[in-house]
């Protein structure tokens, strides 16, 4: 496998792991101070899209289907397989538990000293006033989702880049 595939996969896996750790830290009491500004969301978006799109493009160029991707993944070293699997499963757990946090409330905000959240129940859609404890719970749940979902996408990009590299290696080996 070429160094660019390893670099791409390693970068994506590292960023995914960092975001999943941040998502896990949201289970601690209080909110993450860094997440209050819009900068993390912008940084995640700016880095996620090129890395993810490049991984998808590499898979398309390798003419990968599900079966060949699975076989290529199985050719990766065992530690890499375990690491990617563990990262993905932790992302699934964090995203699932984060989504089940405050039920139908999301997008917490504070206006004039009062706490509001968007209620997504079918017949009661709209912004509703909530208590401070509900506000904090919704805010933590939103942060958890903000980190867990892109973290899983980064891990998926690492999977794609590394399997594309393995497919490329076998393709070059077969043509030699």
**Residue 108 has what pLDDT?**
66
How many other C-beta atoms lie within 10 A of the C-beta of residue 85? 13
Kindly state whether residue 109 falls inside one of the protein's structural domains. no
Would residue 7 count as lying in a domain? yes
How high is the mean pLDDT of the chain? 81
What's the chain's length in residues? Answer: 176
Lowest mean pLDDT among 18-27, 124-133, 145-154, 163-172: 124-133
Q: How confident is the model at residue 11 (pLDDT cuts 50, 70, 90)?
A: very high
- How does residue 140 score in pLDDT terms, banded at 50, 70 and 90? confident
Evaluate if residue 161 carries a pLDDT over 70.
yes
133 in any annotated domain: no
Q: Residue 124 domain-assigned?
A: no
In a domain, 46, yes or no: yes
Select, from the ranges 22-26, 45-49, 134-138, the one with the highest average predicted confidence (pLDDT).
45-49
137, part of any domain: no
* Choice between 123 and 55, residue whose per-residue pLDDT is larger: 55
Q: Is residue 127 part of a domain?
A: no
Domain range holding 92?
3-102+147-175
> Cα torsion at 136, 137, 140, 146 (round to 10°)?
-120
pLDDT of residue 94: 84
The structural domain count of the chain equals 1
When pLDDT is cut at 50, 70 and 90, the band that residue 102 belongs to is: low
Q: What is the pTM (predicted TM-score) of this model?
A: 0.80
**What mean pLDDT is predicted for residues 138-161?**
85
Start-to-end CA span in the chain (Å): 15
Residue 139 lies in a domain: no
| DSSP code string of 3-14 | HHHHHHHHHHHH
pLDDT of residue 155: 94
Query: What is the average per-residue pLDDT within 17-40?
Result: 75
Q: How confident is the model at residue 50 (pLDDT cuts 50, 70, 90)?
A: very high
Instruction: Name which residue leads in pLDDT, 131 or 60.
Output: 60
Q: What pLDDT, on the 0 to 100 scale, is given for residue 66?
A: 86
Give the start-end residues of each E strand in the chain. 105-111, 114-119, 126-130
pLDDT higher at 95 or 86? 86
């Amino acid at each position: 496998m070429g160094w660019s595939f390893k670099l791409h996969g390693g970068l994506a896996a590292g960023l995914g792991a960092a975001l999943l750790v941040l998502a896990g830290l949201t289970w601690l009491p209080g909110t993450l101070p860094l997440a209050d500004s819009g900068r993390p969301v912008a940084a995640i978006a700016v880095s996620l899209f090129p890395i993810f799109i490049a991984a998808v493009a590499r898979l398309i160029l390798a003419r990968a289907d599900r079966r060949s991707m699975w076989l290529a993944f199985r050719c990766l070293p065992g530690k890499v397989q375990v690491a990617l699997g563990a990262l993905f499963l932790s992302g699934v757990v964090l995203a699932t538990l984060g989504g089940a946090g405050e039920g139908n409330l999301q997008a917490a905000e504070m206006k004039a000293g009062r706490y509001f959240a968007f209620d997504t129940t079918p017949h009661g859609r709209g912004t509703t006033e909530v208590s401070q404890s509900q506000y904090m719970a919704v805010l933590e749940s939103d942060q958890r989702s903000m980190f867990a979902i892109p973290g899983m996408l980064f891990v998926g990009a690492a999977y794609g880049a590394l399997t594309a590299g393995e497919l490329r290696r076998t393709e070059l080996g077969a043509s030699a």
